[in-house]
């Protein structure tokens, strides 16, 4: 049975809505996070889709294969879902718990001067 999530515009201000939404996604056992703290969606056995954009999340949720969403389904709803997913991604179970956690670090820009070497006058 496919779980149902009903979204209304009032949910954007509800403090329990992000938890309820992400708990519903976690209950499907198809949303996990990798060692870089990114949420991924399980397509098939051994096949994963990285959820790195709002459009990706929107396509997954609106197909109705994993979670059936109802209610006010506009761009504001997708924005709320994306913010909730990003804010609570640490609560998703790990794909490979035996691997160490390695958050992605920003790469330094070529030619950038470190802050402690900049002269201030």
Mean pLDDT of 33-62: 92
User: Has residue 44 got a pLDDT over 80?
Assistant: yes
How confident is the model at residue 104, as a pLDDT? 75
Give the mean model confidence (pLDDT) for residues 81-103: 90
Tokens of 58: 């929107």
In 78-101, which positions are buried (b, 16+ CB within 10 angstroms) versus exposed (e)? bebbbebbeebeeebeeeeeeeee
Rounded Cα gap, residues 69 and 66, in angstroms:
10
Tell me the per-residue pLDDT of 22-39, one tens digit each, with 9 for 90 and over: 999 999 999 999 988 999
Q: Are 3 and 64 in contact (CB under 8 A)?
A: no
With bands split at pLDDT 50, 70 and 90, how would you rate the model's confidence at 56?
Answer: very high
Of 27-31, 61-65, 66-70, 76-80, which range is least confident? Answer: 61-65
pTM of the predicted structure, to 2 decimals: 0.80
The helix or strand, by DSSP H or E, that contains position 61, with its residue range, turns out to be: helix 54-63
Bridge-based pairing of strands 4-7 and 68-71 is parallel
């Amino acid at each position: 049975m496919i779980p149902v999530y009903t979204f209304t515009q009032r949910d954007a201000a509800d403090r329990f809505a992000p938890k309820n939404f992400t708990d519903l996604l976690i209950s499907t056992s198809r949303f996990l996070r990798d060692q870089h703290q990114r949420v991924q969606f399980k397509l098939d056995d051994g096949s994963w889709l990285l959820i790195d954009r709002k459009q990706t999340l929107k396509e997954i949720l609106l197909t109705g294969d994993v979670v059936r969403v109802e209610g006010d389904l506009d761009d504001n709803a997708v924005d709320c879902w994306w913010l909730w997913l990003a804010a609570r991604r640490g609560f998703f179970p790990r794909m490979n718990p035996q691997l160490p956690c390695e958050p992605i670090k920003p790469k330094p820009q070529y030619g950038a001067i470190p802050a402690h070497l900049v002269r201030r006058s």
